[in-house]
Structure 1
Amino acid sequence: MKFNNQESLTTQQTVMIITNFILGIGILTLPRAAAEKVKTPDIWLSIIIGGLIAMLAGVVIVKLSQQFPKKTFYEYSQDILGKWLGCLLNLIVVGYFVAMSSVMLRAMAEVNILFLLEGTPRWAMIIAFMWVGFYLVIGGLSAITRLFQLIFPITVIIFFMIAGMSLKVFDINHLRPVLGLGLGPVLKGVQSTALSFGGFEIMLFLVAFMRDPKKANKAVLFGIGIPVIIYVTTALMVIGALSVDGVISLTWPTITLIKSIEFPGIFFERYESLLLVIWMMEIFTTFVITHYTAAMGFAQSFKKELRPFLYFLMPVIYIVALLPVDINELFALSNGVGNAGLVLFVFLPIVLLGIAKLRGGRT
Structure 2
Amino acid sequence: MASGLNESGKLTTLQSISLIIGFIVGVELFTLPREVVHAVKSADAWLSVILGGCVTLLLAWMMIRLARKFPGMNFYEFVQQIVGTWIGKMIGLVVIVYYIHLGSYEMRAMEEVTSFFLLEGTPWWAIQALFVWISLYLCMEGTDVIAKVCQIIVPITIVIYLLILLLGVKNFDVSTLRPFLSKGMSPVFHGMSTTTLAFSGSEIMLFILAKMEKPEKAVRIMGWGLGVAIVLYTTATILCIGAFTAEGVMTRVWPFFDLTRSVEVDNLPLERFESLLLSIWVLEIFATFNIAFYCAALGLSHVTKLSYARSLCILLPIMLIVSRVPRDINELFQLGRYIGKANLILFSGLSLILLLISRWRSKST
> What is the TM-score when the length of structure 1 is the normalising length?
0.97
Say whether residues 1:71 and 2:79 are aligned partners: no
Q: Using the alignment, how far apart are the partners of 1:362 and 1:209 within structure 2? A: 29
Task: Tell me which amino acid in the other structure corresponds to 2:275.
Answer: S
Aligned counterpart, 1:291: 293
Task: Tell me which amino acid in the other structure corresponds to 1:182.
Answer: G
Aligned counterpart, 1:307: 309
Is contact 2:7–2:144 with CA below 8 Å preserved after alignment?
no
Q: Using the alignment, how far apart are the partners of 1:302 and 1:362 within structure 2? A: 31
Is contact 2:39–2:190 with CA below 8 Å preserved after alignment?
yes
Q: Using the alignment, how far apart are the partners of 1:355 and 1:135 within structure 2? A: 38
Aligned counterpart, 1:16: 18
Task: Tell me which amino acid in the other structure corresponds to 1:311.
Answer: C
Give the number of equivalent residue pairs.
363
Q: Using the alignment, how far apart are the partners of 1:148 and 1:116 within structure 2? A: 23
Is contact 1:16–1:152 with CA below 8 Å preserved after alignment?
yes
Is contact 1:258–1:272 with CA below 8 Å preserved after alignment?
yes
Which stretch shifts more, 322-331 or 273-282? Answer: 273-282
Aligned counterpart, 2:30: 28
CA positional deviation for 1:362: 12
Q: Using the alignment, how far apart are the partners of 2:210 and 2:64 within structure 1? A: 10
Residues 180-195 of structure 1 aligned to structure 2 (within 5 Å): 180-195=182-197
CA positional deviation for 1:65: 0.4
Task: Tell me which amino acid in the other structure corresponds to 1:206.
Answer: I
Look up the SS of the partner of 1:359 in the other structure: helix
Is contact 2:7–2:143 with CA below 8 Å preserved after alignment?
no
Residues 164-179 of structure 1 aligned to structure 2 (within 5 Å): 164-179=166-181
CA positional deviation for 1:266: 5.2
Residues 347-358 of structure 1 aligned to structure 2 (within 5 Å): 347-358=349-360
Which stretch shifts more, 240-249 or 217-226? Answer: 217-226
Residues 208-287 of structure 1 aligned to structure 2 (within 5 Å): 208-264=210-266, 267-287=269-289
Aligned counterpart, 1:332: 334
* CA distances 1:43-68 after superposition (whole Å, capped 9, x unpaired): 11100100011101100100000000
Which stretch shifts more, 268-277 or 76-85? Answer: 268-277
Is contact 1:159–1:278 with CA below 8 Å preserved after alignment?
no
CA positional deviation for 1:262: 2.1
Task: Tell me which amino acid in the other structure corresponds to 2:30.
Answer: L
Residues 83-94 of structure 1 aligned to structure 2 (within 5 Å): 83-94=85-96
* CA distances 1:307-352 after superposition (whole Å, capped 9, x unpaired): 0001111100000001111001101111111111110111110010
Look up the SS of the partner of 1:189 in the other structure: helix
Q: Using the alignment, how far apart are the partners of 1:30 and 1:362 within structure 2? A: 45
Counterpart pick for 1:158 among 157, 160, 165: 160
CA positional deviation for 1:304: 3.6
Residues 196-207 of structure 1 aligned to structure 2 (within 5 Å): 196-207=198-209
Aligned counterpart, 1:55: 57
Q: Using the alignment, how far apart are the partners of 1:343 and 1:138 within structure 2? A: 30
Q: Structure 1 265/205 Cα, relative in aligned 2: closer, same or farther at 3 Å?
A: closer
* CA distances 1:121-151 after superposition (whole Å, capped 9, x unpaired): 1122111110011111112221111101111
Task: Tell me which amino acid in the other structure corresponds to 2:54.
Answer: L
Identity %: 41
Q: Using the alignment, how far apart are the partners of 2:273 and 2:363 within structure 1? A: 52
Task: Tell me which amino acid in the other structure corresponds to 2:273.
Answer: Y
Q: Structure 1 362/89 Cα, relative in aligned 2: closer, same or farther at 3 Å?
A: farther
Task: Tell me which amino acid in the other structure corresponds to 2:107.
Answer: L
CA positional deviation for 1:217: 1.1
CA positional deviation for 1:264: 4.7
Look up the SS of the partner of 1:7 in the other structure: coil
Q: Using the alignment, how far apart are the partners of 2:201 and 2:138 within structure 1? A: 19
CA positional deviation for 1:110: 0.6
CA positional deviation for 1:277: 2.1
Look up the SS of the partner of 1:224 in the other structure: helix
Structure 2, unpaired ranges of 5+: none
Is contact 1:75–1:301 with CA below 8 Å preserved after alignment?
no
CA-atom RMSD in angstroms: 1.6
Residues 64-143 of structure 1 aligned to structure 2 (within 5 Å): 64-143=66-145
Is contact 1:32–1:248 with CA below 8 Å preserved after alignment?
yes
Task: Tell me which amino acid in the other structure corresponds to 1:146.
Answer: K
Task: Tell me which amino acid in the other structure corresponds to 1:14.
Answer: S
Is contact 1:27–1:279 with CA below 8 Å preserved after alignment?
no
CA positional deviation for 1:267: 4.0
CA positional deviation for 1:220: 1.3
